[in-house]
Amino acid sequence: MPVRHDKPRPLVQPSTDRGAPRLSRSRRAVIPAVAETTRPGGTASLAGKSVEWAQRLRSATETERLGEIIGHALRGGEVLALFGNLGAGKTTLVRGLAVGLGAAPRSVSSPTFVLIQEYRGRLPLAHADLYRLDSVADLHDLGLSDYLDEHHVVAIEWADKAGADLPTDRLEIHLHHRSNTARSVVLKATGPSSHRLLIHAMREGKARSKARHGKGKERRTQ
């Protein structure tokens, strides 16, 4: 990981209200939230030292719900690396993380023009967007390493731009378009902390899916 810099971080200002980031005036922008999907359930596989879980995506509500499930299990110090094209649902999933952490979901938007936004919940969530970075050198100047500690949760959109500077232990979230409304997601754990998150998401997701199916079956028999 890059060495922590002593220079100030002009692109980031912590929130003064719970869950509501205060942006620098020169960088203030309103970015529409991306809305896509997720279906708790799916399949898991073990490949080497990494664990993967594949899911089918159906709606923005389900994508946010998956993020919320992960958010409930966060303890601090975790890094979530999000991959996917424009409109794949990365920001929607981060909104769910905010919900799971007790932050205000309405405050979550893509930080493309701000680069990093911070949301306050039971743990501070640093939401980074690397879309406009031209090189890894720009990442070093961004100050992202300042958030990589046991107190913060870090969610990184366009994480592929970080290259080898991503932490070794991270939960990768790969979102893919299937159609205008359908998506798929693959979650990949690369270390002990992310593995714990993935196992929690799998168990909670399957439990919720089973509960919904049970309610549907009960309604059909009435």
- In the chain, where are the structural domains located? 25-221
Q: What is the pLDDT of residue 214?
A: 67
Q: What is the pLDDT of residue 218?
A: 58
Q: Which helix (H) or strand (E) holds 90?
A: helix 90-101
pTM: 0.73
Kind of pairing, strands 124-129 and 153-157? Answer: parallel
Phi and psi, residue 63, nearest 5°: -65, -45
Q: What is the pLDDT of residue 37?
A: 31
Distances (CA, A) of 184 to 8, 51, 65, 130: 39, 17, 14, 22
Q: What is the pLDDT of residue 126?
A: 95
Superfamily of domain 25-221: P-loop containing nucleotide triphosphate hydrolases (3.40.50.300)
Kindly give the confidence (pLDDT) of every residue in the chain, 222 residues in length, as a single tens digit, with 9 standing for 90 and above.
Answer: 444 444 434 334 344 344 433 333 222 222 222 222 333 445 454 444 678 999 887 888 888 999 999 999 999 999 999 999 998 999 999 999 999 999 988 788 877 666 899 999 999 999 999 988 887 777 778 888 899 999 999 999 999 999 888 999 999 999 998 877 778 999 999 999 999 999 988 888 788 777 766 665 555 555
Q: What is the pLDDT of residue 123?
A: 96
Q: What is the pLDDT of residue 196?
A: 92
Identity of the residue numbered 67: G
